[in-house]
Amino acid sequence: QVQLVESGGGSVQAGGSLRLSCLASGFTFEWYSMGWFRQIPGKGREGVGCINVATSTRYAGSVKGRFSISRDNTKNTVYLQMNSLKPEDTAIYYCAARSSTLCGDWQPDDFGDWGQGTQVTVST
């Protein structure tokens, strides 16, 4: 079955960096667009970015220029490099798979499979 396993979360001071990884299995990874989302307890899930099968990327305005998404199809892994982290980036981060070659509107409902999430905490 489909499995998405995130790793790389943790605590960091403002201005620091983290790289999240998401290892995928159970489907043909190279045919899927992959998204990153985040959620603060009590709030809805927010899109961070998406990468399609051609490695074109899209980002939320709040992270553009600071975060970057990449994928390695040989390792069935998608990455989220987060630089210049801010306290407001504190959230649980999820990766998700969309059975499409394109990101489209990359809304949460467009993604059928999700990882368990990894906590990112940014302190002042």
Q: Are 35 and 111 in contact (CB under 8 A)?
A: yes
pLDDT at position 45:
94
Confidence of residue 41 (pLDDT cuts 50, 70, 90): confident
Query: What pLDDT, on a 0 to 100 scale, did the predictor assign at position 17?
Result: 98
Backbone angles phi, psi at 29, to 5 degrees: -55, -40
Q: Is the pLDDT of residue 85 over 90?
A: yes
Integer Cα distance of 63 and 68 in angstroms? 9
The whole-number pLDDT of residue 100 equals 96
